[in-house]
Chain A
Amino acid sequence: MTDFFTALGLELHAAARRSPRRMVTLGQAPGTLAAAALLAAAVAVVVAVSGGGDRDSARVTGAPTPDPVGTHIRKEQTLYGAGALVVANGAAPMTGPWQIEVSRTNGERDTSATWMWHRGYCLWLHVLDSPGPQGGIRLGGCGTPRSLGFRKTPGFSRDQSMMNSEPPGTEILVWGRVPDRAAKVVITAPGRKPIEVVPTDGPKHFPGRFYAIPVKPPRPGARINWLDASGKPGSRGIALMPPITR
């Protein structure tokens, strides 16, 4: 047996004995969650954990630097089969540098039935300081052209990841897009201080604002919503998922 087959066999053996990493696509989850009450009254305490953007000071020393917002990434440099546009960037304390990218897709269907794409656009979280191919791990969702990757929540979306944290799950990035009129994004949970951040603008002439919020689980019952300039909730909110809510 050659080195390749031996090494791959060992990788499979190790993988078979650990839990798979959970990678949730936005298209799967939010619409399936039950509707709930509007976000309650005003948010009391502001806890600015991370607002994204180049201003973020939590960048990991020596880690890859995110591309500036508005950077066009050529098709050959992505794993999407298409070019991509950087719409937001920043760094999280444990996850490290990240950027949010948009790409187009003609729709794909993985016949193993594990994954499926919709024709339209995809929104990706690209975690740069991770062992994935071509410079980091990417995860996200694809949807119809107007939904920008989030079929059921086109204007306001959230996805969450638990990549690159040790031990796994100690930091989860909650990320997505909010409408242009969104002034803040807030995560609430019963008995916990709200986490409130300011979303960042995407490239000029590109719709929506973007955010990525590092969250330390657990936060049972946690929900995310956006607020307009007057502090009024912009939607009924979206429930977060385990392991945050576990």
Chain B
Amino acid sequence: MTPAEIEELYRDHARRLAGYLMRATSDPEVAADLTAETFAAALVARDRYSAELGAPTTWLYGIAAHKLSDWRRRGYAEDRARRRLGIERPALSAEDVVELSRLAEEVTVVELLEELPPDQRKAVRSRLLDDLAYGDIAVAEGVSEAAIRQRVSRGLASLRHRIGGER
């Protein structure tokens, strides 16, 4: 993956990722730290990305999940990749905090996705977030296309139910 592709990932997904992290941490400063560290780590590790790891977004969220896990375990946000690249994490303004809080509300579905059974979660993620074709997902999973369609359908139905239940 090239630096330009990482920047494209940033443009397309930084806000949603920050919202996901904001919802997970309930702390705008930590969410900002983790967002910056996730993209810095992606930049550092870009040469190790390959299509076998899934879509770029899957890879990116995987990094974010690891950073989040580290934060929960240690109690502070890692900054190793940022230091390595010499990246300063920008300070948050009051408007940024409000915006992060708003973004956190937008990622409810992403959060709920994690609560789905693994096969449904993977199918929904591959189809809707990674934009893969049913046939490609089926080949990757070693099952029929019909099975993938069923997993996606059941996963979405479950998400609709959960969202409805929350609201």
Contacts and interface: CB of A to CB of B under 8 A. Distances in A.
A62 to B, nearest CB: 21
A112 B59 CA distance: 10
Interface residues of B, number: 45
Nearest to A115: B80
Given A16-B6, A81-B75, A114-B44, A4 B11 contact: no
A79 interface: yes
Interface stretch (A130-138, A181-189, A197-205, A221-229): A130-138
A131 B18 CA distance: 24
A36 interface: no
B33 to A, nearest CB: 9
Nearest to B41: A112
Interface string A1-31: 1111101110111011110110100000000
B85 A3 contact: no
Nearest to A22: B84
B83 to A, nearest CB: 6
B32 to A, nearest CB: 6
A4 B93 contact: yes
A20 B3 contact: no
A4 B6 contact: no
B123 interface: no
A110 interface: yes
B3 A112 contact: no
A61 interface: no
Contact of A9 (B3, B10, B41, B92): B10
- Closest 3 pairs (CB-CB, A-B): A16-B3, A7-B90, A15-B85
23 contacts: A2-B99, A3-B93, A4-B32, A4-B92, A4-B93, A5-B14, A8-B10, A8-B35, A8-B39, A9-B11, A11-B90, A16-B43, A20-B84, A20-B86, A21-B83, A21-B85, A23-B83, A23-B84, A108-B70, A110-B66, A110-B80, A112-B45, A114-B41
Interface of B: 3-4, 6-7, 10-11, 14-15, 18, 32, 35-36, 39-41, 43-45, 48, 63, 66, 69-70, 74-76, 78-81, 83-93, 95-96, 99-100
